[in-house]
Chains A and B, each alone.
Chain A
């Protein structure tokens, strides 16, 4: 069930709820425009950090490689763009950004991040990995690509995406912490995770020699 804006507002202002079970989106700089009456999503703003790929000698990103995270660190630069300044996203350029807001979801809520249509009409794709799990606490990493024909200026502080918040029916998996929780900046993550060893084992059994 998607929460209405009235419900989101009342949850955000509910002091009686213990902090662990509280919905927090901080800061909300303009309640009226970010939580429009009658709507069912809250607008979130573009944060101040961007991770930008750069050309290096690294020839690939391989999630099965033991050096995946090191490689990612080496091929990305981090830019800090202050509110008031801007970042230029060129056609077909891909960067990681983040929301200005810190999102803290209790175990009863999950969320989806969707780009705002006004940016979409400029050719901007805001987020592709859009699910936010219960008990997540951190900024949201946004995958931003300019699919348009002309460069677009990105101003931190502008509303860039919207968060649809859902209730979670049933028990949300004990006390497990979502793997990206605690994010303070846009970041990559090792997608293979625990499956890395299994797939490597299968590859070895089948005689594939493409792994590091």
Chain B
């Protein structure tokens, strides 16, 4: 073997060894942590298994005399085939890094895992993690993809969930229970594929004339400019426009559909959290290729709400007034900034997708394994809100001499309903030191709701364990 090839082999194997050692060292810091989900441990086991595979390979290759027979390119390829998984391992470490219960609310993790289980059966698991961005997101990791990206054999993933959801919440606001209802949107994303919604949508009607005009306009923008860079940019934008319109239309449909199913899963609590978090913080008409403007989301959510919540007395007068104000805000005309997004809006309108989506979601409701209905909402508001007003956690309620465990989603809905009503009763029962500012009251209230979720889960897990023993 030439000296260069020997050097190439030495450094590649040494570098890979060091990367593996660094990952192992970082995982040591996770020992003794309390994870919010058992899936974190499963991911860590998988990482260690993948590292073990790389280390075995390095050990064998270091002593492999046949490597002299390979060319430089063949040698590189042979080593890279195994060490290419290291960046994927780094990503996985990043996923589990902030998933322990000092980073995420454990009170929420347990019931959300149960929701995932109800919705997608026991083939799915959830890890909640926090990140420094003011954003909620979800990643889906399929078992088959992990096997491929980590170079593992099928039997190595035995017992690993078929689908792993990694949901991320903003780290600074990790204790804001009400706001976390946004998660319902993230949990609903896989339904697009599962229920084959794309096939049920009407054919897309693209306004070709307008698209052509847009392409021409984009192409002409900056023409004659002395800056060549601008001219090229304009040409690139013009050529990408048709593809951007069709891709954004699809992405918006996915987002809007997830919103609708989230409303079916989490009830009005989801809509309230969208209004409070997404709409009140972001600009109502700001859109991107991946996300529709919040105003359009509101518009469709209200149309779907009207299909699901038909009873006149379902909302309290205060909540109804609040909803009506936001219904009007959502019904106003949308003024997006970019022409591409205007065209996407136009496509949705002309293809009647914005009209069709709420009714399509309504037709598909029986296919959901779990949902929260108007009847559930009415019951929960009736029995749980008075508990909240009396400062008793709505984890369970007394009915005909028996304690009935409340529904996790019901707690969040009752929580929102009482919050919208102004929390007068609740606030009156707080000592002066806990209500010096409105934010302090809200913080205490969110903590109170998290306590209700914790107690609710304690009842669930205790009874489940008792049933198993009996």
Contacts and interface: CB of A to CB of B under 8 A. Distances in A.
Contact of B34 (A26, A85, A181): A85
Contacts of A22: 390, 392
Contacts of B65: none
Contacts of B387: 19
B453 to A, nearest CB: 11
A37 B434 CA distance: 39
Contacts of B391: 104, 137, 181-182
Contacts of A100: 455, 458
Contact of A182 (B389, B396, B434): B434
A171 B389 CA distance: 24
B324 interface: no
Nearest to A45: B458
A139 interface: yes
A28 interface: yes
Chain A interface bracket (under 10, 10 to 19, 20 to 34, 35 or more) = 20 to 34
Contacts of A180: 431
B242 to A, nearest CB: 52
A129 interface: no
A102 B455 contact: yes
A82 interface: yes
Interface in A80-125: 80-83, 85, 100-102, 104
Interface string A9-39: 0000101000110101011110000000000
Contacts of B455: 26-27, 100-102
Interface in B414-433: 429-433
B101 A182 contact: no
Given A82-B106, A100-B458, A15 B401 contact: yes
B353 interface: no
B444 A184 contact: yes
Chain B interface bracket (under 10, 10 to 19, 20 to 34, 35 or more) = 35 or more
A10 to B, nearest CB: 10
Contact of B429 (A139, A182, A185): A182
Contacts of B430: 177, 181-182
Interface string B7-40: 0000000000000000000000000001000000
Given A137-B392, A179-B431, A27 B459 contact: yes
A24 B396 CA distance: 11
Given A139-B451, A182-B448, A185-B447, A83 B458 contact: yes
A134 B403 CA distance: 23
Contacts of B454: 48
Nearest to A28: B403
B431 A178 contact: yes
A64 to B, nearest CB: 17
A186 interface: no
B281 interface: no
- The residue in A15, A85, A184 that gathers the most chain B C-beta atoms within 10 A of its C-beta is A184
B444 A182 contact: yes
A177 B426 CA distance: 12
Interface string B432-470: 111000000000100110110011001101100000000
B398 interface: yes
B392 A181 contact: no
A26 B403 CA distance: 9
B292 to A, nearest CB: 37
B395 interface: yes
B468 to A, nearest CB: 13
B448 A83 contact: no
B101 A27 contact: no
A32 B222 CA distance: 81
A29 B455 CA distance: 10
A19 B392 contact: yes
A124 to B, nearest CB: 22
A82 B429 contact: no
A184 B398 contact: no
A48 B398 CA distance: 24
A136 to B, nearest CB: 10
Contacts of A185: 447, 451
A50 B448 CA distance: 17
Interface in B77-131: 101-102, 106
B431 A184 contact: no
A181 B434 CA distance: 9
Interface in A44-98: 48, 79-83, 85
A61 B245 CA distance: 63
A29 B431 contact: no
B53 interface: no
B393 interface: yes
Interface in A134-181: 135, 137, 139, 157, 177-181
B161 interface: no
Contacts of B434: 182
A210 B389 CA distance: 45
A102 B101 contact: no
B219 interface: no
4 closest Cβ pairs, A-B complex: A19-B390, A137-B391, A184-B447, A184-B451
17 contacts: A19-B386, A26-B392, A48-B106, A48-B454, A80-B34, A102-B455, A104-B390, A137-B392, A157-B462, A177-B432, A179-B431, A181-B391, A181-B429, A181-B430, A182-B444, A182-B448, A184-B447
